[in-house]
Amino acid sequence: MEKIYLSLVIPAYNEEENIKSGALESVYHYLKKQKYSWEVLIVDDGSIDKTTFLAEKFSREHKNFKVYQEPHRGKAGAVIAGMLVASGQIILFTDMDQATPINQLAKVLPQFERGKYDIVIGSRQGREGAPFIRKAMAYGFKILRILILGLGYSDTQCGFKAFNKKTVKQVFERMQVFTEKRALEGSAVTAGFDLELLYIAKKLGLKVVEVPVIWHHKGTLRVNPIKDSWQALKDLTRVRISAFLGRYNV
């Protein structure tokens, strides 16, 4: 059996509109032109709309697409579940809305081919179309994550991150605050998830590189500036406490 080079993990919670607007088609049409082998894992996070039906229909009609149904745990739980079952040598998670277009893979994969890096993370440039409040939140969050966790990346929150196969287990199986079993209500934006996995990568001495990627703001009711900023601060604190207690020691 041919080894899969790339696994794409797409968490999905009530993504009916994005699927209907052609998000999965854009992924398929890009990947089918590539010379490497690939698979797409759509991880349904207990959706209550037609996401499951539409995703399964699409996977029946397009090869290399698979749907995994999971109980609702929020984006973090869905991503972790998908990452741990993916078969690819390189495993990337991305958002269904394709705010970072799939063609940005062309900037990510060469970093692995050079053999220098274990993790490649997208870094949004300019945040085109994002409202002022979103940009202000991003700036404040950057200061906090540097002060609290020592993570000096330009952008830790872009939903476009790739790992080599070995690194996936090293990182995701060590997570303490965000785990595959942690339950969340609603369609929470879990900022701390990205922070925890990058903090673990730092503790493990893994080599991480940022690459600039195109990003377009997608308006969503899932982002609540006040609620999400407070949740992000709590997540930062939880990761810091876990680190203080030695839970990430290797």
Summarised one tens digit per residue, pLDDT across range 106-128 is 999 999 988 889 999 999 876 55
Distance separating alpha carbons of residues 78 and 183, to the nearest angstrom: 11
Domains present along the chain, CATH in parentheses = 6-244 (3.90.550.10)
Report the range of poorest mean pLDDT among 10-14, 138-142, 194-198, 199-203. Answer: 138-142
Share of the chain above pLDDT 70, in %: 83
**Comparing 21-35, 97-111, 220-234, which segment has the lowest mean pLDDT?**
220-234
Distance CA 99, CA 160 (A): 9
Q: Please tell me the pTM assigned to this model.
A: 0.87
3-state secondary structure of 44: strand
| pLDDT tens for each residue of 187-202 | 445 678 999 999 999 9
Give the range among 4-8, 59-63, 133-137 with minimum mean pLDDT: 133-137
Mean pLDDT of 150-161: 88
> 23 falls in which pLDDT band (50, 70, 90)?
very high
Regarding predicted confidence, which is higher, 54 or 130?
54
Q: How far is CA 226 from CA 8, 121, 132, 236, 240, in A?
A: 32, 26, 14, 16, 21
Rg (alpha carbons) of the chain, rounded to whole number = 17
pLDDT for residue 10: 98
Q: How distant, in Å, are the alpha carbons of 81, 101, 106, 110, 135 from that of 211?
A: 25, 14, 11, 11, 19
- Over residues 64-68, the mean pLDDT reads 98
Closest of 59, 57, 66, 53 to residue 16, by C-alpha: 53
Does residue 27 carry a pLDDT above 90?
yes
Residue 181 has pLDDT above 70, yes or no: no
> Higher-confidence residue: 59 or 158?
59
Please name which of 136, 145, 121 lies closest in space to residue 213, comparing C-alpha atoms.
Answer: 121
